[in-house]
Amino acid sequence: MLEEIEVDNNIYFTKYGAAYFEDIGAVAISDIHMGYEDVLAKNGIFLPRVQSKIIYETIDKIIDRYSPEKLIINGDLKHEFSHNTPQEWSDVLELLSRISRRTKPIVVKGNHDNFIANIATKLNLEVFDIYSDGRYTFHHGHKKFEWTDKAVIGNEHPAIGLRDSVDSVIKLPCFLYFRKEGLIVLPALSIYAGGSDILKNEISSPVLKKVQLKDGKVYGLWDSYGIIDLGTVGDLS
């Protein structure tokens, strides 16, 4: 099983859904959506509260493997727009505390994170609308922004639907990389974010709408094989 692929100098996409930037000693993840179960329960849909445990274990594995100096959460750490639910208070505090014991957490604000600062300040953590480190600019990607070298966004929850000879389909979360524009799109880390099939669904991120989608390189996450190079969006269309 392939653990990671180097897609450019010092840039690795990993089977864990994290990008590793070796030159700045950082890993980046996106779209965790802590508290998802709580929000659905208020609407009469009850799911077992298993996501937080899986997220904690995944992040432990990421830190074990890459020993980053910082771990960047690139937006939508929580799920509820209008307030912080009790589950979000508990799970987000626990996650940030766990990360803080091993490395430095960097929290970038996503469109779901309107009240995330109320939680982050309990641990004396700053929340960034946009975060720059070396040649990289980190932004959730739900609004337009400018960058000079490499930009890293989330927001889109990209996935790719692969069809076999008997017409069955498997949908894989994926990274996208637009080398010309220097744009990296992270997959969602949430276990409940099935992903938006970039071959079928309308693109939502205003940042992603500005590039030629067909030119994007696709790196799928497959439990059986790890991280796999699937060619370009144009090749798969």
- Residue (of 194, 193, 213, 192) closest to 202 by Cα position: 213
Which amino acid would we find at residue 155? Answer: N
pLDDT at 146 over 70: yes
pLDDT at 150 over 70: yes
Domain, as residue range, for 20? 4-236
pLDDT tens profile 222-231 = 988 999 999 9
- Residue (of 178, 169, 166) closest to 209 by Cα position: 178
Which class for 115: exposed (0-12), middle (13-18), buried (19 or more C-beta within 10 A)?
Answer: middle
CATH of the domain at 232: 3.60.21
pLDDT tens profile 50-100 = 889 999 999 999 999 999 999 999 999 998 878 888 888 999 999 999 999
Spell out the alpha helix ranges (H) of 86-170: 86-100, 116-120
pLDDT band at 235 (very low <50, low <70, confident <90, very high): very high
Number of domains making up the chain? 1
Burial track 215-235 (b if 16+ CB lie within 10 A, e otherwise)? ebbbbbbbeeebbbebebbee
pLDDT tens profile 111-136 = 988 999 999 999 999 999 999 999 99
pLDDT at 29 over 70: yes
pTM for this entry: 0.95
Distance between CA 223 and CA 73 in Å, rounded? Answer: 22
Residue with tokens 């997959």: 187
- Residue (of 186, 219, 190, 225) closest to 2 by Cα position: 225
